[in-house]
Amino acid sequence: MFHKEGNTIIIATLAICITAALLLNHFIDNVILKNTLIGVFILLLFLVLQFFRNPKRNFLLNENQVLSPVDGKVVVIEEVFEKEYFNEKRLQVSVFMSPINVHVTRYPVGGKVVFSKYHPGKFLVAWHPKSSEENERTTVVVKSPIFGDVLHRQIAGALAKRIVNYAEEGQEVNQADDSGFIKFGSRVDVFLPLDTKVNVKLNQVVKGGITVLAEK
């Protein structure tokens, strides 16, 4: 199963690969060179399919837990001053996604979307200290009945050239539903109340909608 955000790119890549294979077969007589180039295009198609995959998962929803919004590796667990929405200290948990991770962004908690904003910006590498403030990003805040306002921020990386955000202010959302998609690598930050119990460790591999980041 593939995510809808990849439909156009997948079809275009498939068309390019088929066309390239036909042209190579017609114009190149060297079998080794021809097969090598065809192999390159097949690899390209495989990587695109890998990136836009959207595997089915059995989500165990729990309003007393905060689920990881994405697949990847935990790279930040720290107390920070969040100045876009809260203007106070929050507990930040950040997950870095490599190009081979599933890139669907899911709501870490369910509730009402009270804030949703897109910021154009740079494309610094996702682990750069200033990426959360200077890169292209979206900020979404969901008011949870248990945790209060929970903010998650999609951050574009050096390869990510488009962030898709489905959150609209005022809508009711369910935990683990699609919140958006980041095309070709990046990071998602989650900001929680200071008294939240974190359930993950630095460098831990997590799965979106499955791994429990934190709980009450």
**Residue bearing tokens 């077969």:** 25
Query: Active site includes 186?
Result: yes
Q: In terms of DSSP H, where are the helices of the chain?
A: 7-27, 31-51, 131-134
8 Å CB contact between 147 and 192 = yes
| 16, HSE (Cβ side, Cα atoms, 13 Å) | 14
Beta pairing partners, 162: 183
Q: Which two tokens stand for residue 157?
A: 């990386």
Please state the separation of Cα 120 from the chain's center in Å.
Answer: 17
8 Å CB contact between 87 and 143 = no
**Computed over its alpha carbons, how large is the radius of gyration of the chain?**
19
Which of 94, 131, 132, 186 does the annotation list as catalytic?
186
User: Which positions are catalytic?
Assistant: 186
